[in-house]
C-alpha cells in the first residue's frame, strides 16, 4: 500500500513538474515536431530547466540584423529569429553585443544552407580563406570581419582563421563522404560535427563582449572542454531538430544511431538525448574547474562573462529551435 501511494505521489509530482517546465517554454510553431523531441531535456538538465531572459532591446536587435542583411545582400527572415537566439544568450549584456552575434549567426546559417544546397566544390570557402569577395556571403563576411577583427589581437585573429580552416576541412570531408557513399562512425562523428558547426562561432563571443581570453587560459583543458561540450550540445540538439530535413544524409547523430545501432527513430533520438545530457554535465564540471584564481581580478571577471554566455547557450538554442520557422 505504501509503495502504491509513493508511486502515485511521484507520478503526480513529475506530471506537475513537466507542466510547469513546459509552460515557460516558447510555443513550438506548427510542424516543429522534431524540435519538440528535445523537451525531455528541461527535466533532465538543470541548466536547461530555467528559461533564458529575453534581452529588453530584442526588437532593436532584430532591426539591426535586418538592416545589416539588406545592406550586405543576405536574406533575414524575422520568422527564423536568429536575433532571438542572440537576445537570449546575451540577455545580460548590451544590445550591440547581441546584434553583432546575431549578424554572425545569420551569416553562418546562410553559409550552412549554401553548402547543403550546392553540389559543386566549396567555392565560397576559397573566397573567404583568400580574402576575395565575389559572392554575397563573402561580401557579408568581409563586412562583419572589418568590425569584429578591429577589436581583437593578432593572436585572436589567427585563432579565428584556424577555426575557419577547420570548418572548411570538415565540410570537405562531408562532401567526400557523400560522393563516395561513406558513413562516418559514431565515434568519429562528434569531432567531424564540431568542425562543420563552425568552431569559430564560440570565439566570436569574445569580440561581441569586447573581451579577449588570455592565450594560456584558452588553451587550458577546462576551457577547451567547456567550449567543446557547448559546441556538441548545440550541434546535437540541432541534429535532432533538423533530422526531417536531412533527406537521407547520414551526417546527423540521430540518423547514425538508427543505422549503426539498429534503433528506431524514437529510440535513436532518446540515445542522442542521453549524449546531450552527458555533455551538459561536462559543461558544468568544466566551468567549475576553470582556473579563474590564476587571473587578475578584472580579467577573471571578463573571462567569466564569456563562460556565462557559453553556459546560457544550450537553453537559448533550445528555445530558438522550438519557436523558429527554420525547422517548421
Which residue segments constitute the domains of the chain, with CATH numbers given? 35-323 (1.10.600.10)
pTM: 0.86
Please provide the DSSP assignment of 247-311 as one string: TT-S-SHHHHHHHHHT--HHHHHHHHHHHHHHHHHHHHHHHHT--GGGS-HHHHHHHHHHHHHHH
Q: Quick one: DSSP state of residue 245? A: G
Band (pLDDT 50/70/90 cuts) for residue 248 is: confident
Is residue 259 over pLDDT 70? yes
Between residues 14 and 69, the one the model is more confident about: 69
Please give the C-alpha separations between residue 68 and each of 75, 148, 326, in angstroms, as whole numbers.
10, 14, 20
Per-residue pLDDT reduced to its tens digit, 222-241: 999 999 999 999 999 999 99
Per-residue pLDDT reduced to its tens digit, 121-168: 466 666 666 655 567 888 899 999 999 999 999 999 999 999 999 999
If you count them, how many residues does the chain have? 328
Amino acid at each position: 500500500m505504501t509503495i502504491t501511494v509513493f508511486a502515485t505521489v511521484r507520478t503526480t509530482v513529475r506530471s506537475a513538474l513537466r507542466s510547469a517546465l513546459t509552460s515557460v517554454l516558447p510555443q513550438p510553431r506548427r510542424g516543429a515536431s522534431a524540435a519538440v523531441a528535445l523537451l525531455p531535456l528541461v527535466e533532465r538538465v538543470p541548466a536547461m530547466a530555467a528559461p533564458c531572459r529575453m534581452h529588453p532591446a530584442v526588437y532593436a536587435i532584430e532591426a539591426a540584423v535586418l538592416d545589416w542583411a539588406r545592406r550586405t545582400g543576405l536574406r533575414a527572415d524575422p520568422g527564423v529569429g536568429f536575433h532571438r537566439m542572440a537576445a537570449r544568450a546575451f540577455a545580460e549584456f548590451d544590445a550591440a553585443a547581441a546584434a553583432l552575434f546575431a549578424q554572425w549567426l545569420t551569416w553562418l546559417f546562410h553559409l550552412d544552407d549554401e553548402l547543403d544546397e550546392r553540389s559543386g566544390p566549396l567555392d565560397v570557402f576559397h573566397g573567404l580563406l583568400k580574402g576575395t569577395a565575389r559572392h554575397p556571403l563573402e561580401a557579408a563576411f568581409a563586412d562583419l570581419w572589418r568590425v569584429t577583427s578591429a577589436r581583437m589581437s593578432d593572436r585572436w585573429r589567427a585563432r579565428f582563421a584556424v577555426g575557419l580552416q577547420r570548418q572548411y576541412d570538415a565540410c570537405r570531408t562531408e562532401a567526400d563522404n557523400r560522393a563516395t557513399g561513406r558513413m562516418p562512425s559514431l565515434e568519429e562523428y562528434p569531432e567531424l560535427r564540431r568542425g562543420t558547426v563552425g568552431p569559430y562561432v564560440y570565439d566570436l563571443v569574445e569580440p561581441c563582449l569586447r573581451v579577449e581570453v588570455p592565450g594560456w587560459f584558452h588553451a587550458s583543458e577546462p576551457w577547451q572542454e567547456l567550449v567543446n561540450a557547448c559546441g556538441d550540445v548545440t550541434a546535437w540538439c540541432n541534429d535532432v531538430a533538423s533530422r526531417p530535413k536531412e533527406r537521407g544524409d547520414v551526417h546527423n547523430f540521430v540518423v547514425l544511431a538508427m543505422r549503426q545501432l539498429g534503433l528506431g527513430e524514437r529510440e535513436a533520438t532518446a540515445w542522442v538525448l542521453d549524449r546531450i545530457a552527458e555533455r551538459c554535465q561536462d559543461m558544468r564540471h568544466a566551468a567549475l574547474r576553470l582556473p579563474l584564481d590564476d587571473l587578475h581580478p578584472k580579467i577573471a571577471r571578463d573571462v567569466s562573462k564569456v563562460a556565462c554566455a557559453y553556459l546560457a547557450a544550450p537553453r537559448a538554442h533550445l528555445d530558438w529551435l522550438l519557436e523558429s520557422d527554420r525547422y517548421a
